[in-house]
């Protein structure tokens, strides 16, 4: 079997967008920081979100059956740490950021590059993680001017590319 440290060191070189994934529903409101998010297909619009089954927030997502993927803007690096911290209560996390709701009722964070509001269509457990297959029900694009990525165990800010005139 491949050494876990070697695998993690290799994966650290896979640059990933930084997201705060949120939920709300009968089980309560929760959020966590994730880089393990990607598109599956555009027909129908589907994302996957991976979460450690041992996370204390896991049950909120699995039981609520909805989530919002909030793709963080370059100036939202602090939100990544806030939603990853074990020293901050869930209530304190949501008190420190502006948010509203889209179709599912999951918190959509203000200022995000984009909010993908989703219903969890299926959950597949793989090793230590659950993979949530998410049907995208609503999308809101923000006005931020750049993105936030995590690469080589550090944050990097990406400027937004100029768009060609149509």
Give me the domains of the chain, ranges plus CATH numbers: 4-141 (2.30.110.10)
pTM for the whole structure: 0.91
Instruction: Tokens for 104, please give them.
Output: 């599912």
Angle at 46 between CA 141 and CA 150, to 5 degrees: 60
Is the sign of the CA dihedral 47, 48, 51, 56 positive or negative? positive
For the chain, residues with pLDDT lower than 70 are: 11-14, 161-166
143-165 tens-digit pLDDT: 877 899 987 888 888 887 655 55
Distance from C-alpha of 114 to C-alpha of 7, rounded to nearest angstrom: 30
pLDDT digits (tens, 9 = 90+) for 87-111: 999 999 999 999 999 999 999 999 9
The tokens describing 127, both together, are 């090793």
């Amino acid at each position: 079997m491949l050494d876990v440290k070697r695998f993690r060191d290799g994966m650290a070189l896979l640059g990933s967008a930084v997201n705060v994934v949120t939920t709300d529903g009968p089980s309560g409101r929760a959020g966590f920081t994730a880089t393990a998010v990607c598109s599956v297909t555009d027909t129908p619009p589907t994302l996957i979100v991976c979460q450690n089954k041992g996370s204390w927030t896991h049950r909120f997502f699995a039981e609520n059956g909805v989530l919002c993927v909030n793709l963080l803007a370059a100036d939202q690096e602090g939100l990544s740490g806030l939603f990853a911290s074990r020293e901050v209560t869930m209530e304190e996390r949501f008190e420190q950021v502006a948010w509203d709701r889209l179709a599912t009722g999951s918190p959509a964070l203000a200022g995000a590059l984009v909010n993908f509001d989703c219903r969890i269509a299926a959950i597949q457990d793989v090793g230590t993680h659950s993979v949530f297959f998410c049907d995208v029900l609503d999308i809101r694009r923000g006005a931020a001017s750049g993105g936030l990525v995590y690469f080589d165990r550090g944050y990097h800010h990406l400027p937004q590319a100029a768009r060609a005139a149509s």
